[in-house]
Amino acid sequence: MIRKKYVFLGIIGIIAIFFSLNSSAQTESLRASETVVTEEVLTTGTTNDYTEDISVSEKFGIFLKSMGFANFDWKTAVMLIISFVLMYLAIVKGFEPLLLLPIAFGMMLTNLPEAGMFHSDLFAGGHVHWGNFVDGAGLLDYLYLGVKLGIYPCLIFVGIGAMTDFGPLIANPKSLLLGGAAQLGIFITYIGAVAWGFLPNEAGSIGIIGGADGPTAIYLTSKLAPHLLGPIAVAAYSYMALVPVIQPPIMKLLTTSKERTIKMRQMRSVSRTEKIIFPVAVTAVVSLILPSAASLIGCLMFGNLLKECGVAERLSKTVQNEMMNIVTIFLGITVGATATATNFLDFQTIKILCMGVVAFSLGTAGGVLLAKLINLFSKNKINPLIGSAGVSAVPMAARVSQTVGQKYDKSNFLLMHAMGPNVAGVIGSAIAAGLLLSFLG
């Protein structure tokens, strides 16, 4: 009885589709006829009787040709497989899932044939072609404006600032030097990328991967080399997720067993007044020296001020949660949409991934080596392991310093000491992006 019911429903469905196609064919035919008649009247002043209809079979043939399967090629297959792999890494392995998952899904959407959700030609040459936007734009084109205009990364920085405690940095100002040294990888990689054949603006976008700061990498790349946004975003967030894998071998290579067991003095307490003055002072000083960094630094410090002032708790919670989550979704899915087969399946992508590892490794090494250098002239020794936290993968890099340190001395607690260079790295990467934008933008 149930089978008969489904057979009956299936027959009804087929009949409905048949009549729908037939009706649609007649409508299209009528429109075509009206257009031709109008043109005939305008040119000759006479009319002819156009009654030729498109048959149902022809209409069905047109429908088949418009299907995604009809336009499916090997490049599409490769891009979809890559998006599935990234989804697997985000869901199963937990690699930066909050952003890698939207990026992977956006990558899948943009590579579905005939879906028409993203059109890279609307942003060709690094500019928004507004004249073609209204008629030819898809959903992701409109959402991508938030990336192109630099809105999403700045809003993300407001949320990051509201979730960041700069107390360890204020208590130990030397941490700022370690955070700055960890940006070494950005500039060395820039030189290497230029030597490898990349244009200066492309090299700057590749180098910023070494800062291990996804929003900063997206912001700078959208300004300097938007055609590389997909590969650079994937590289930046992938390497951020691989911090526990990449950093420990470098940290062990550059330090001795004795250095890894150095115990640092307990940090002083930081007053509420200091925490309120800090974001205001940093914004003013950095923006006056480097105006191109004002957008990122200003948003970061504004978020932190909301957290520390104590009178805007509702706003602080909003930017930490609701706003941060919404913007992360839009940012991820639109950045993934830029990873089209044309832009992604290129030898340049492999080169970007290789240079990204170099940038990240050099950044880690820079922080560790500067900590060792400071120890030569300082009575209060710094455990060099905290220097690796100068890359701005907050708070993962600080946790790696803690984990590696406790392998050699379980009573050694480095986490709060490592948070100083870690949050300094966020400021450092934003300043580095401002410098690159100032010189290359």
Q: What is the pLDDT of residues 59-90, one digit of tens each?
A: 777 777 777 777 778 888 999 999 999 999 99
DSSP string, 116-135: ----GGGGGGGS--GGGHHH
Give the list of residues 6+ apart from residue 65 with CB closer than 8 angstroms, or none: none
In the chain, the percentage of residues whose pLDDT exceeds 90 is 63
Q: How high does pLDDT run on average in the chain? A: 86
pLDDT for 385: 95
Q: What is the pLDDT of residues 207-252, one digit of tens each?
A: 999 988 889 999 999 999 998 998 999 888 888 888 999 999 999 9
Q: How confident is the model at residue 53 (pLDDT cuts 50, 70, 90)?
A: low
Rounded to two decimals, what is the model's pTM?
0.81
Residue 58: per-residue pLDDT:
78
* DSSP codes joined into one string, 48-65: --------HHHHHHHHHH
Domain boundaries, the chain: 151-327+340-440
> How confident is the model at residue 56, as a pLDDT?
78
Residue 13 reports pLDDT greater than 60: no
- Is the C-alpha dihedral spanning 196, 201, 204, 208 positive or negative? negative
- Using CA atoms, how far apart are residues 133 and 395, in angstroms rounded to an integer? 40
- For the cut 90, the answer to whether the pLDDT of residue 382 exceeds it is yes
Which sign does the torsion angle of CA 368, 370, 373, 374 carry? negative
The contacts found for 89-94 with CB under 8 angstroms, 24 or more apart, are: 89/238, 89/241, 94/241
For residue 120, give both structure tokens. Answer: 């890279």
Write the pLDDT tens digit of every residue in 98-130. 888 999 999 999 999 888 889 888 888 778 888
Residue 8: pLDDT above 60?
no
- Mean pLDDT (whole number) for 387-410: 92
Nearest CA-CA partner of 213 in 147, 296, 327:
296
299 contacts: CB under 8 Å, gap ≥ 6: 154, 155, 157, 158, 161
Q: What is the pLDDT of residue 20?
A: 42
Query: Using CA atoms, how far apart are residues 299 and 320, in angstroms rounded to an integer?
Result: 13
- Reported as a single tens digit per residue, the pLDDT across 284-342 is 999 999 999 999 999 999 999 999 999 999 999 999 999 999 999 999 999 999 888 88
Helices 74-91 and 97-110 pack at an angle, to 10 degrees, of 160
Q: What are 139-149's pLDDT values in tens digits?
A: 999 999 999 88
